[in-house]
Structure 1
Amino acid sequence: MKILVDEDLLYVKQLFSKLGEIVLLNGYNITIDCLKLIDALIVRSVTNVNAELLYNTSVKFVGSVTAGVDHLDLNWLTKSGVKFINAPGCNARSVVEYIFSGLFFLAKRYGFFLRDKIVGIIGVGNIGKLLCQLLDLLEVQTLLCDPPLAKGGAIGNWHALEKLVSEADILTFHVPLIYDGPYATWHMVDDDFLSALPSNRILINTCRGGVFDNYALLRALQNGKKINVILDVWEFEPKILLPLLYSIDIGTPHIAGSSIEGKIRGAQCIFNAYNNFISVDRVVNSPFLLPPIMYYRRLTSVLDEKLLSDLIHSVYDIYHDNISLKNNAEKFGYFEWFRKYYLNRREWSSLYVHSFYSADIEILRELGFS
């Protein structure tokens, strides 16, 4: 069989090569002409999969190594009998650790303690739920907003978005990109939202660029709105609004979910699903290719926010990615280049921590450290 794989999906290439001939192509350059004799298509979010791409091709399976599905025309795929699978939750841990790195960076820069803040989480799927759990471990108050879950009867202490806007010090977004209907999220953060938002708030977007109206956000900042912003996703990617990048605290090129562990989990999910699709009894469960070397840190004092911040930034310091993008964003193709060669980031589990304090050991273990 022939399988077309986005060339930037390193672990996917290595796994699927066991099953047949692999055709590699840049995700932005995949067209219908490339798919006439292809059995399976494995993509990232940069490839829109719809009738325009797949009509009258031989593709019977589409795998997307992403949590989101807004780049997939699910209705058309279903009607056309094309099996599709994504990898929800594969990058949840990576995104949550990215957020913590950003928050502790801001805490150090502006002199606050995270435990004194209220965090509003908009969208409580895999990422939002995990973020809430870890914040609870640190005794940080959270407010949750997820209208579809609330209406569906999901158990939770749900709040309206207006309450989060008025009361939460930090607002972090984890919603799909939906353009219309009762749960539309496109331009959720717009002129009206920003006008209602009190000063000295923190906004974080790691879901989809279009959830924030980038021009509205730039206008607010240029007009003196006193808010702090962390953006990993942008409208019009891979082109980004450069004045906005230079106006915010942290800007990165859509890499919040791009840990080595997250990429491996996504590859395993799609590979196992495809084996099931073609009725092959082969399942990958172990973390293949995961670098075995773990970092080591011995703690000699009781765990507090400063020490936890040091541990988190010893694994991943968001500021380095921010500086790299801001220093090079005007170079042609840098956004895509950064993502393509972004391979070395690890998760907290790669850090082995030793402490004499049993209570601290338990907290660190529950947070995800080894």
Structure 2
Amino acid sequence: MKLVIDANIPAADACFGSFGVLHRLPGREIRAADIRDADALVVRSITQVNQALLAYSQVRFVGTCTIGTDHIDLAYLAERNIGFASAPGCNAEAVVDYVLSSLLTVSEREGWRLLERTVGIVGAGNVGSRLKGRLQALGVEVLVCDSPRAEQEGEGDFVALDTLIERCNVICLHTPLVKQGPHATYQLLNAQRINELAPGTVLLNAGRGDCIDGLALRSRLAGKGDLTAVLDVWEDEPGIDAGLRDLVALATPHIAGHSLDGKLRGSWMIQQALAEQLGQSSATPFSELCPPPALSTLTLQRALPVEEALRLCVRAVYDVRRDHDALQRQVLHEGLAKGFDRCRVQYPLRREFATLSVTLEKDAVALQRPLQAAGFQVHCV
């Protein structure tokens, strides 16, 4: 059995080596000729899997080690009776870590408290629901917009998008890209809605770049300059808008979910799906794929202000400023598109908040609830 696999997928040998011969290629460079005699294709989000790629191949299984599927022509796979699996939720915890690191960084720069803000979450899937849970556990007021779920479940737990825009001073987008239909998310934040954002609003997008009208956002930032934008996803990746990148507070190259834990979880989930399609048992438990973290414990011997303690622990595991700075450096060296992809290919090791155990001594035990709410393991002595 021949498997063509994105070269950036971790633990490929451990997860897929038992199935057959692995051929690793950079995700953007996988072409029809490369998979003509392949039996399975395993990708991440940057490979467009469609008729043009698969028409003359013998591929019987496609797996994407990501939560999103807008890079996959699902209708074509169904027409060809090609098995398919994605990894929903594999990196959701990592994306929530990214959001908290970003909001704590922006609040520190601008001099406001996250715990006093009203956060609007657009999209209540794996990421949005986890973000809501962590923020509410911290005591943050949260409103959620998810029109498909509101239609199915009733509007009790959801608000309309325009209501969310009116009432929230932090807005986080975590929607899939849906281009057509009653719940389309393409340019969900169009020019009109961007213009309606109140001065001082923080807009964070870690969902899909095409859900925001980038030109309208750039115009608002360049003109009034009264918004704070944090963008991890962009229109036209990797050739992103240089003008917009220069105007946002934090610009990162689609890496919000790029924790080692999330990537390994994605590989493992696709391994399970492929084994099931082949009628085989999977012999690799997920626990065996995860190495111990470089920093496993941290001790606080006295109390700190809550958000100061959160920043300390968050940055011990993941500091979003590193990724912002890395993109700026790589773009200077290689240009936008190559620099963007270089940051993704050479992304440094990153773990999730849950891998850090925080020990609290003396009066620091008062920090137990907020640190647990943020996602850390906490022990009081």
The verdict on a shared fold, with TM-score over 0.5 as the criterion, is yes
Query: Residue 364 of structure 1 corresponds to which residue in structure 2?
Result: 371
Contact 2:330–2:343 (CA under 8 A) maintained in structure 1: no
Q: CA deviation at 1:287?
A: 2.6
Indicate the larger mover: 47-56 or 82-91. 47-56
Q: CA deviation at 1:315?
A: 1.0
RMSD over aligned CA atoms reads 1.6
Contact 2:138–2:373 (CA under 8 A) maintained in structure 1: no
Query: Residue 324 of structure 1 corresponds to which residue in structure 2?
Result: 326
Q: CA deviation at 1:323?
A: 1.4
Q: CA deviation at 1:156?
A: 5.0
Query: Residue 347 of structure 1 corresponds to which residue in structure 2?
Result: 352
Query: Residue 166 of structure 1 corresponds to which residue in structure 2?
Result: 166
Q: CA deviation at 1:270?
A: 0.4
Give the Cα–Cα distance (whole angstroms) in 2 for the partners of residues 189 and 58 of structure 1. Answer: 41
In structure 2, the gaps of 5 or more residues are none
1:74-85 to 2 correspondences below 5 Å: 74-85=74-85
String of CA shifts for 1:210-251, please: whole Å, max 9, x gaps: 111212111111112400000001111111111111111000
Q: Call closer, same or farther: CA 1:156–1:18 in 2, change over 3 Å.
A: farther
User: Percent sequence identity over matched residues?
Assistant: 34
Q: Call closer, same or farther: CA 1:361–1:283 in 2, change over 3 Å.
A: farther
Query: Residue 192 of structure 2 corresponds to which residue in structure 1?
Result: 192
Count of equivalent residues = 370
Contact 2:14–2:284 (CA under 8 A) maintained in structure 1: no
* Amino acid paired to 2:320: I
Contact 2:120–2:143 (CA under 8 A) maintained in structure 1: yes
Query: Residue 307 of structure 1 corresponds to which residue in structure 2?
Result: 309
Give the Cα–Cα distance (whole angstroms) in 1 for the partners of residues 345 and 76 of structure 2. Answer: 29
Q: CA deviation at 1:194?
A: 1.2
Contact 2:134–2:375 (CA under 8 A) maintained in structure 1: no
Give the Cα–Cα distance (whole angstroms) in 2 for the partners of residues 284 and 363 of structure 1. Answer: 35
Contact 1:94–1:256 (CA under 8 A) maintained in structure 2: yes
Indicate the larger mover: 126-135 or 190-199. 190-199
Structure richer in helix, relative to its length: 2
In structure 1, the gaps of 5 or more residues are none
Contact 1:12–1:267 (CA under 8 A) maintained in structure 2: yes
Give the Cα–Cα distance (whole angstroms) in 2 for the partners of residues 284 and 359 of structure 1. Answer: 40
Tell me if 1:247 matches 2:247.
yes
Q: CA deviation at 1:49?
A: 1.1
Q: CA deviation at 1:292?
A: 1.4
1:273-288 to 2 correspondences below 5 Å: 273-288=273-288
Q: CA deviation at 1:289?
A: 3.8
Q: Secondary structure at the match of 1:115?
A: helix
Q: Secondary structure at the match of 1:297?
A: strand
String of CA shifts for 1:24-53, please: whole Å, max 9, x gaps: 111112122222210000001111111121
Tell me if 1:88 matches 2:88.
yes
String of CA shifts for 1:249-296, please: whole Å, max 9, x gaps: 000001000001001110110011111111111243333342314332
Give the Cα–Cα distance (whole angstroms) in 2 for the partners of residues 228 and 318 of structure 1. Answer: 15
Q: Secondary structure at the match of 1:246?
A: helix
Give the Cα–Cα distance (whole angstroms) in 2 for the partners of residues 239 and 129 of structure 1. Answer: 31
String of CA shifts for 1:282-313, please: whole Å, max 9, x gaps: 24333334231433211123361211121111
Give the Cα–Cα distance (whole angstroms) in 1 for the partners of residues 105 and 331 of structure 2. Answer: 21
Query: Residue 59 of structure 2 corresponds to which residue in structure 1?
Result: 59
Q: Secondary structure at the match of 2:97?
A: helix
Give the Cα–Cα distance (whole angstroms) in 1 for the partners of residues 266 and 81 of structure 2. Answer: 23
String of CA shifts for 1:73-123, please: whole Å, max 9, x gaps: 111211211110000000000000000000000111111111110000000
Query: Residue 40 of structure 1 corresponds to which residue in structure 2?
Result: 40
Query: Residue 271 of structure 1 corresponds to which residue in structure 2?
Result: 271
Contact 1:12–1:271 (CA under 8 A) maintained in structure 2: no
String of CA shifts for 1:184-203, please: whole Å, max 9, x gaps: 11111221111111110000
Contact 1:242–1:329 (CA under 8 A) maintained in structure 2: no
Give the Cα–Cα distance (whole angstroms) in 2 for the partners of residues 243 and 13 of structure 1. Answer: 41
The TM-score, its normalising length taken from structure 1, stands at 0.96
Query: Residue 295 of structure 1 corresponds to which residue in structure 2?
Result: 296
Tell me if 1:229 matches 2:229.
yes
